[in-house]
Structure 1
Amino acid sequence: MQTLHTLAELRAALPQPRSCAFVPTMGNLHEGHLSLVRQARAHGLPVVASIFVNRLQFAPHEDFDRYPRTLARDCELLQAAGCDIVFAPDEAELYPEPQTFKVLPDPALADILEGHFRPGFFTGVATVVMKLFGAVQPRVAVFGKKDYQQLMVIRCMTAQFALPITIEAGETCRAASGLALSSRNGYLSDSEREKATELARALGTLAKRYRSESTPLVELEAQALDGLRAAGWQPDYLTIRRRSDLTVPASAAEALVALGAARLGATRLIDNLES
C-alpha cells in the first residue's frame, strides 16, 4: 500500500481517470470505514482512501482542533482491509490558498436537519468532496448511510454536475449493543456509551408508531424529543422523512427513514433507520 501526501504523487500513481474506487474519510477509522473499503474492493479496481480533516465543514465552536488524528493506525487498518493507496494531504496541500470558490448545495436539501443545526456544514462537505473527486477521478465512490443526508447531498451534486462517478451507499455498521459506529463515539465515557443506544431505540420507536398509529407525525416527533430529554439527552431533531428527498411524508405507506441528532453529555451523535 502506498501512502501519498501530495497531489503530484497522487496523479503520478493514478495516471488514468476512472481507474479506481474511492472512499473519502476524515480518519480515526473504525469498522464502518473499513466495510466501505471492502465494498469498494469488490469492484476489482485499485482502492484509494483519503484521510483529511476538513476545516470547511466545522463551525468555529465545533471539534476541529481536537478531532482525533491517528494516521499511522489508520494506515495499518486500511492496508489490512485491502486499500491500495492512502491519500493523506495536509491542509496547505489541499487548500493552498483560501477556498473562496465553494459548492453551494440546494438549500431545500442542505439547509434542513443537519444543515439547520450546523449552518454551512454541507457547503464544506460538498466543496471538499468535489475537490477530492477532481484529484482522485474515481469510477466509483462509496459513502456510508450513517451520514444519510450527506450521502444524498453527494448523490445530488454528482448527478447535477454530470460527474462520471457512481455513488454507492454502504450500510451502517453497529456495535453488538446497536450503537452506530462513529469516530465521535471515542468521546463517550463508558456509562455514556451504554446510554448512547437510546438514540437508535428512540428512532425505532418513532418509526414503528408512525407506521401503526393515527397520531399526527408532529405529535409523535414531539413526544420522541420529550422522551430523550427526560432521559438526559439534548436532542436537536428526531423525525420521519421520505427516503427519496428528505421531505415530510404524506403517508406511512411511503419508503421512509427516521433520522435523529442529539447530544449526550458533550458528544453530539447522529443516527438513522430506514423503514
Structure 2
Amino acid sequence: MLVFAKIKSVKQKISSLKKGTSVGFVPTMGALHKGHLSLIKKAKKENDLVVVSIFVNPTQFDKKEDLVNYPKTIDNDLELLKSVSCDLVFMPSAEEIYSKNIKSEIFDFEGLEHQMEGKHRVGHFDGVGTIVKRLFEIVTPTKSYFGEKDFQQLQIIKKMVKKNNLPVEIIGCDIYRETDGLAMSSRNVRLTKEHRKAAPFIFKTLKEAKLKFGIENAVNVVQWVQNEFKKHPLLELEYFEIANEATLQTISTKELKQKYRGFIAVFAGNIRLIDNISL
C-alpha cells in the first residue's frame, strides 16, 4: 500500500499505474469504520486500482469546535486500509489542498443544497463540493463511492459531476449499520454510554415511520415521529422530513411513481447523528 501527502507525487503515481486500468476512489475524513471498509471492498471488486483519501476538510464544518473535535485515528486507519488491500492512500494537509486560501467555491446545486442539512449547516455543501471536485481532479477516478447515510450529499455530488461534466461515475452504497441498527459514523465513538444505548431508537423510529407511510399521509407521519422524540429523555430531534429522492423537496402529499425518503437529524447530548430510510 502506497501513501502520499503531495498532490504532484500522487498524480504522477496514479498516472503511471492507470494505463488501461479503472480507478475506484473512496474519499474519507478518516476515523475509519466498517462502513468505510464496505465502500472500499465494493471498489476493489469493480476496479483494478483503489485509491482512498483521508482529509478532514475545514471548509465543510460550520462549527469550529466540530472541526477541532473530529476524531483522528491515522495509525488505525492505515492498518484498516491494509486489511482490505487498498492500493494507494492520499493524505494531504489543508495547505496542500488549499494553498493559503482555505475557502469554498460557491456552487449552484439547483436547490438541493437548501433542503434539510443545508438549512441547518450554512455553507456546508459548498465545502463538500469544493473538496470532492478538487480530489476528483487529482485522483481522476473512473468510479467514486459514497454511502447513502449522507444521501443528500450523494445527490449533490451527482449534480456537481453532471453540471461540471466530470468523467467519473458516482456509486451510492447502502447504509452500513451496527447490529442494533445505529448507522455507522465516525461520530459514534464520541457518544456517552447512555447515549450510545439510546441511539438505536433513531433507526427503530425510522422503520416504524416507513410502515406508517404505507397507510398514512406524510404530514401525519412527520407529526408522529416528532411526538415520539418529544417523549424520549435522551435524544433531541432536530428535524424529520419526508422528501422526494430526486429533488429533496419535502412533501405533504404522496404521488404515484415517485420515490420518497425519510431524513432525520438527532442530538444525542452534543453529538449530532443523521440517518435516512427509503420509503
What residue number does 1:245 align with?
247
Aligned to 2:229: 228
Partner of 2:179: 176
- Residues 101 and 26 of structure 1: is their aligned pair in 2 closer, same or farther, counting only changes over 3 Å? closer
| TM-score, normalization by structure 2 | 0.93
- The residue matched to 2:69 in structure 1 has which SS? coil
Aligned equivalent of 2:111, options 96, 108, 111? 108
- The answer for the alignment partner of 1:271 in structure 2 is 275
In the alignment of these two chains, the number of paired residues is 273
Aligned to 1:28: 31
Task: Say yes or no: does 1:261 pair with 2:265.
Answer: yes
Q: Which range moved further: 250-259 or 220-229?
A: 250-259
Q: State, as a whole percentage, how many aligned pairs show the same letter.
A: 33
1:62 shift after superposition? 4.2
Which one of 86, 97, 101 corresponds to residue 98 of structure 1?
101
After superposition, the C-alpha distances for 1:213-235 in whole angstroms (9 at most, x for unaligned) are: 2xx42233123112112203221
| Separation in 2, partners of 1:154, 1:122 | 9
CA contact (8 A) 1:21 1:41 kept: yes
Tell me the equivalent position of 1:8: 8
Q: 1:62 to 1:258 in 2, by over 3 A?
A: farther
Q: Deviations over 1:235-265 (max 9, x none)?
A: 1211211222212344164322111001011
Q: Partner of 1:136 in structure 2?
A: 139
Match 2:50 to one of 27, 47, 50: 47
Q: 1:117 to 1:28 in 2, by over 3 A?
A: same
Runs (4+) of structure 1 exceeding 6 A deviation are none
1:54-89: CA deviation from partner (whole Å, max 9, x where unpaired) = 010001354101111111110110111121001000
Residue type at the aligned position of 1:263:
F
Q: Which residue of 2 aligns with 1:89?
A: 92
Deviations 1:91-150 (A, max 9, x none): 111111214560414251101100101111111001000011111111110001011100
Question: Residue 204 of structure 1 contacts residue 258 of structure 1 at CA under 8 Å; is this kept in 2?
Answer: no
Is the CA contact 1:239–1:258 (under 8 Å) kept in the aligned structure 2?
yes
- Aligned-residue CA RMSD in angstroms? 1.7
TM-score by length of 1: 0.94
Unaligned stretches of 5+ residues in structure 1: none
In structure 2, the residue matched to 1:203 is 206
